[in-house]
Structure 1
């Protein structure tokens, strides 16, 4: 069970994962050792799953962000597992969800350019035997970055 101090700690770490135990303690009115122990407990209990750096896609040469809806032609467990394996091997697919509604999967992709997106769609996704069709949407502008989870 999380108390209000835990939720404040989680909110602070989502904004800046580099906070030291000293800095967390100051924010939460705790000693550095108490803040450090709380962080360790939240990590051990799985509330904090890891730490990662946010990179600038444009500076890395990834000019095209898109969402690709994938519709399978057959829906057996073998086809789903095979498609999941394909998704896990492709670095340009940064997120993938199974969906309700018309599409079976929603993929978030980052590519160098439109040619690379075209290759991903036509030479990788559509060649998978379970895939019947795809629909893609290209992001024109991102109004809000992936935000911290509400705590």
Structure 2
């Protein structure tokens, strides 16, 4: 990875493991002074390697136990439809991720809802009302085998 040395990689790995680690704990973990560690973290943030910090929440505790993936086909393909669709989907709080896909459909949506009844409501009141949506195919998740945000560094 250009611009990253061994120490930078260790910092990034440690922060992915525990984003709440103190600078002092991080410095001890990587074997550097607290000042040098803080400067490296600032540089990694400034250079765009670190884009933010967040807490991972348990979806079951928040009544969001059903994870679904939805393939979406649009009725027409033009920049205006893509822009309008993207702006609308960003407003749907149930949608965790939305990706424009090359292949047999246009978008892949990852969403979390309470249960299948809530999904039916989400499908009819949100997804099917998005601009340009012609067709959807839904894949409810039966078991999450791996769910991580950790990138190899």
- TM-score band by shorter chain is over 0.9
Alignment length (residue pairs): 151
Unpaired stretches in structure 2, ≥5 consecutive residues: none
- Aligned residue number for residue 128 of structure 1: 130
- Aligned residue number for residue 5 of structure 1: 7
1: CA distance, partners of 2:129 / 2:86: 14
- Aligned residue number for residue 65 of structure 1: 67
- Aligned residue number for residue 26 of structure 1: 28
Which residue, out of 63, 80, 83, partners 2:82?
80
- Aligned residue number for residue 139 of structure 1: 141
Structure 1 residues 129, 17: closer, same or farther in 2, change over 3 A? closer
* Greater Cα offset, 131-140 or 112-121: 112-121
Runs of 4+ in 1 over 2 A off after TM superposition: none
Which residue, out of 85, 106, 119, partners 1:104?
106
Give, in angstroms, the shift of residue 144 of structure 1.
1.0
Cα shift readout 1:77-113 (whole Å, capped 9, x = no counterpart): 1111111011110000011111111111111100011
1: CA distance, partners of 2:65 / 2:135: 24
Question: Contact 2:92/2:126 (CA < 8 Å) preserved in 1?
Answer: no
Cα shift readout 1:18-55 (whole Å, capped 9, x = no counterpart): 11111111111100111111111101111000000000
Residues 1:149 and 2:151 aligned together: yes
Give, in angstroms, the shift of residue 147 of structure 1.
3.9
Q: TM-score, normalised by structure 1?
A: 0.96
Q: Does the residue aligned with 2:20 lie in a helix, a strand or coil?
A: coil
Give, in angstroms, the shift of residue 129 of structure 1.
4.2
Give, in angstroms, the shift of residue 124 of structure 1.
1.9
Q: TM-score, normalised by structure 2?
A: 0.95
Unpaired stretches in structure 1, ≥5 consecutive residues: none
Question: Contact 2:88/2:131 (CA < 8 Å) preserved in 1?
Answer: no
2: CA distance, partners of 1:145 / 1:132: 30
